[in-house]
Structure 1
Amino acid sequence: MSMSEPASLRKSKAFILFWFTRVLSASGFQILSVALAWQVYSRSHQVLDLGLIGLAQFAPRLLFMLSAGDAADRYDRGRIVAISQLVQALTALALAWVATQAQLGREWIFLLAVILGTARTFEMPALQALLPGLVPSALLPSALATSSSGMQAATIISPALGGFLYVLGASSVYGISAALYLLALWLIMQIPAALPRAISTEARLPALLAGIRYIRSKPELLGAISLDLFAVLLGGATALLPVYAQDILLTGPVGLGALRSAPAVGALGMSVWLAWYPPQRRVGKLMFAAVALFGIATMVFGISRSFPLSILALVILGASDMISVVIRSSLVQLETPDEMRGRVSAVNALFIGASNQLGEFESGLTAAAFGTVPSVIMGGAGTLLVAGIWIKKFPALAKRDRLYKR
């Protein structure tokens, strides 16, 4: 891009590149995730292994979260994203090789899942911190919803495609995933490194902890981020979808792809709606209502033996989660100064990772102990309980009226 172009035009082009980068990266990860889950479960038939895959991806986030956030505030965020996507592409190729080596144990898959989780640990805060520099603050909620709509569209198509292509072998799925990551890498490299932003100059150790201190000083941020953590940690059932597809709904890998796509269908529809009609008033109450609906939909999915009903429950689950995601993400970005967005986004990414990857481990653990269906039902009930407790614990968040303070 020419630096002689008007700043508004440069930012518009940069946002388009960002949008396509996120879509391609999400597609690569979703396709890879379908193959990874099915490959592990088909090898061992141990439901706990599905949880261990989530734990393997979460552990690096716990270890490197502070460093990832500090890096996003000290160095060029686009280049961090590019390096992370290169590592993920190479990991996908390594998984393709492992899939052809029947003599290799599942430990190799867990090791590569750790590498994948490490790359995503550095990618997420850098990506999240990039967006506010590309749009005016007043348009950020709509931009977040627009960005999410593209990602969710990819999440609809990619798992179904991954499940279909798995018939040809896991290597085919991993190869396509690697190609998508490499294309995303090329696009993110087109965003100028010189987009103006503040750069952190704090000493290294205080800087590492600054994101945690900042969130603790803002009860509304702490409440919103922790609500997502505990609600999805308890209510997430996606780790158990291979069990439902193979043993309960009897749909096979193609059905697994459809089940993984269903939450994204709901999320896409809701994100398109929110892009045109972003939340304006009573955003706190809206977020809590969405979390409660997420819990109810999880319970319905847990008890369902009907494939259409299960799909519908997952669609509603995805739509309600998107409402919470847009409100929480908007609050995090709008309430955080630019020079701290990397570190605050890293803490937010840790909470997201805990709710997703650690939630997968929790789901696998409880399913192994109590059974798959009871585990999902208890998780949905736990989400409802968390929503009720958080309303009392964070009254300012529940009473929050607007996202953007004029």
Structure 2
Amino acid sequence: MSTDNDVAVVKNDPFVSVRIPEFKNLLIGRFAFIMGLRMMGTLVGWWIYLLTNKPFAIGLVGLSEVIPAVSLALYAGHVIDISEKRFMLLRGVLLYFLCAATLLFLSTPFTGRHLSAHWIAICIYVVVFFTGVFRAFTGPVFNVILAFIVPKNILQNATTWNQGAWLSASVTGHAVGGLLIAYTGISGALTAICCFILISFFFLFKLKHKPASNEKGEQRTWESVKEGLKFVFKTKELLSAISLDMFAVLFGGAVAMVPVYARDILKVSPVGFGWLNAASDIGAICIVVLLTLFPLRRHQGRTLLFAVATYGTCIIIFGLSKIYVLSFFALMIGGMVDGISVVVRGTITQLKTPDNMRGRVMSVNSMFVNSSNELGQFESGLAARLLGVVPSVVFGGCMTLLVVVTTWIKAPSLRKMEY
């Protein structure tokens, strides 16, 4: 029988969840998978810009992925809740591998001899569209399966580690993607991406089966979807946190214009582009490490709002900067406060969601938040076309600040929330 002292030791041990072997395999598998995906995202943005020389074309990459991801998100949540989670995860990883392999084929000299740059770009958009389809089902499973591996009393610690794995993979993927483009070319970078996805599959294959919940197995699809939506909308703190992050990312998607800033404004090489693209994730992983060792104890809701406001300010500074170092640090500090936002929102989502609804709630979360990255990418590309690159980024930062002020006034339950 555990004592109060035992519980205190567990809560104060920053490595408690990592000592669970299955959770460790999940972390390593997710790290390798996200690293490959971030390398792919860095490469595709750079590749499309080289093929088209149009900032708006970068925005279309995000739109190509977000349309299927959002359209299928609610249905995917229902499927996740009534399916065996491990199989869904492994199948999704293999399908991503097929997409990466297709891009590798498109990058070969054989394809270059038979297709024009215009048609290669169209094929890239098609592949990205299919990654959006697969992402609708695969992305939420990583967060759903987490709660089936670790006990609830250490879920906050596990969530922080899980976000840390995602962010550290993201920063490494962005940086390594730029380096590989510079030193091995697009085909070499895509070969490495395929290898990382296969490594991910190897570690995720070690996970135990996570059976479906029989409770909802016979429920009609639309009834199940409505139940998930109803839960999110009636849980005010959860809805406010998701909405805040969605609009902040939607309007603050300056990273989408990093290829344009790198080549045309700051005039740096692919290596400089890779590091600039990774700057926000470098800041995020630094803050996640600190939050793992020293978790937030009070005023988490208010801290979330201040973090998003600071993020908007950093986007404005980045938009106006013509100095590489200032641009890098603006994105890095923005990443630090964004890391706070990610951890707080992720913890709220995990703690507020019952096990039998995790698939649907995580899919709604994915639809609101994760897809806002691609919508933000499209919004940035469209705004750049209408306003110009620099005004569009500054406008996005200002809109992020407006979203924070509105949330502060309209969502007092989030502002006062503590966990």
Same fold (TM over 0.5): yes
1:136 aligned residue? 151
Amino acid corresponding to residue 191 of structure 2 in structure 1: G
2:31 is equivalent to residue 31 of structure 1: no
2:106 is equivalent to residue 98 of structure 1: yes
**Alpha-carbon shift at residue 196 of structure 1 (Å):** 9.2
Q: Deviations over 1:120-178 (max 9, x none)?
A: 11111111111122222232222122122222222222222111211322111111111
2:147 aligns to what SS in structure 1?
helix
Amino acid corresponding to residue 247 of structure 1 in structure 2: D
Q: Deviations over 1:6-52 (max 9, x none)?
A: xx999811100110011001110011111101110001001111000
2:98 is equivalent to residue 81 of structure 1: no
2:20 aligns to what SS in structure 1?
helix
2:357 is equivalent to residue 349 of structure 1: no
2:298 aligned residue? 281
Which of 197, 208, 221 lines up with 2:225 in the alignment? 208
Which of 76, 79, 84 lines up with 1:68 in the alignment? 76
**Alpha-carbon shift at residue 98 of structure 1 (Å):** 1.0
2:257 is equivalent to residue 240 of structure 1: yes
Amino acid corresponding to residue 146 of structure 1 in structure 2: W
1:109 aligned residue? 124
**Alpha-carbon shift at residue 310 of structure 1 (Å):** 0.8
Task: Give the Cα–Cα distance (whole angstroms) in 1 for the partners of residues 213 and 382 of structure 2.
Answer: 44
1:165 aligned residue? 180
2:191 aligned residue? 175
Shift of the 385–198 alpha-carbon distance from structure 1 to 2, 3 Å rule, reads farther
Q: Does structure 2 retain, via aligned residues, the 8 Å contact 1:53–1:361?
A: yes
Task: Give the Cα–Cα distance (whole angstroms) in 1 for the partners of residues 233 and 166 of structure 2.
Answer: 30
2:170 aligned residue? 155
Q: CA RMSD in A?
A: 1.7
After TM superposition, the structure 1 = structure 2 runs for residues 245-284 of structure 1, keeping only pairs within 5 Å, are: 245-284=262-301
Amino acid corresponding to residue 397 of structure 1 in structure 2: L
Task: Give the Cα–Cα distance (whole angstroms) in 1 for the partners of residues 24 and 386 of structure 2.
Answer: 46
**Alpha-carbon shift at residue 199 of structure 1 (Å):** 5.3
After TM superposition, the structure 1 = structure 2 runs for residues 182-221 of structure 1, keeping only pairs within 5 Å, are: 182-194=198-210, 200-201=216-217, 202-221=219-238
Task: Give the Cα–Cα distance (whole angstroms) in 2 for the partners of residues 124 and 252 of structure 1.
Answer: 32
After TM superposition, the structure 1 = structure 2 runs for residues 38-49 of structure 1, keeping only pairs within 5 Å, are: 38-49=46-57
Task: Give the Cα–Cα distance (whole angstroms) in 1 for the partners of residues 290 and 17 of structure 2.
Answer: 26
Amino acid corresponding to residue 96 of structure 2 in structure 1: Q
1:298 aligned residue? 315
Task: Give the Cα–Cα distance (whole angstroms) in 2 for the partners of residues 117 and 359 of structure 1.
Answer: 15
**Alpha-carbon shift at residue 179 of structure 1 (Å):** 1.2
2:150 aligns to what SS in structure 1?
coil
Unaligned runs of at least 5 residues, structure 2: 1-15
Which of 382, 386, 389 lines up with 2:399 in the alignment? 382
Task: Give the Cα–Cα distance (whole angstroms) in 1 for the partners of residues 171 and 77 of structure 2.
Answer: 29
**Alpha-carbon shift at residue 351 of structure 1 (Å):** 1.1
After TM superposition, the structure 1 = structure 2 runs for residues 308-323 of structure 1, keeping only pairs within 5 Å, are: 308-323=325-340
TM-score (norm 1): 0.94
Q: Does structure 2 retain, via aligned residues, the 8 Å contact 1:142–1:276?
A: no
Task: Give the Cα–Cα distance (whole angstroms) in 1 for the partners of residues 406 and 202 of structure 2.
Answer: 45
1:125 aligned residue? 140
Deviates more, 1:368-377 or 1:99-108: 99-108
Task: Give the Cα–Cα distance (whole angstroms) in 2 for the partners of residues 208 and 196 of structure 1.
Answer: 16
Q: Does structure 2 retain, via aligned residues, the 8 Å contact 1:197–1:339?
A: yes
**Alpha-carbon shift at residue 317 of structure 1 (Å):** 0.8
Q: Does structure 1 retain, via aligned residues, the 8 Å contact 2:258–2:273?
A: yes
Task: Give the Cα–Cα distance (whole angstroms) in 2 for the partners of residues 110 and 50 of structure 1.
Answer: 10
Amino acid corresponding to residue 269 of structure 1 in structure 2: C
Amino acid corresponding to residue 293 of structure 1 in structure 2: T
Amino acid corresponding to residue 372 of structure 1 in structure 2: V
1:13 aligned residue? 21
Q: Does structure 2 retain, via aligned residues, the 8 Å contact 1:142–1:274?
A: no
1:278 aligns to what SS in structure 2?
coil
1:22 aligned residue? 30
Task: Give the Cα–Cα distance (whole angstroms) in 2 for the partners of residues 14 and 349 of structure 1.
Answer: 24
Q: Does structure 1 retain, via aligned residues, the 8 Å contact 2:96–2:134?
A: yes
Task: Give the Cα–Cα distance (whole angstroms) in 1 for the partners of residues 155 and 214 of structure 2.
Answer: 18
Q: Does structure 2 retain, via aligned residues, the 8 Å contact 1:18–1:188?
A: yes
1:134 aligns to what SS in structure 2?
coil
Shift of the 9–252 alpha-carbon distance from structure 1 to 2, 3 Å rule, reads closer
Task: Give the Cα–Cα distance (whole angstroms) in 1 for the partners of residues 152 and 296 of structure 2.
Answer: 14
1:4 aligned residue? none
Q: Does structure 1 retain, via aligned residues, the 8 Å contact 2:17–2:157?
A: no
TM-score (norm 2): 0.91
**Alpha-carbon shift at residue 332 of structure 1 (Å):** 1.1
1:15 aligns to what SS in structure 2?
helix
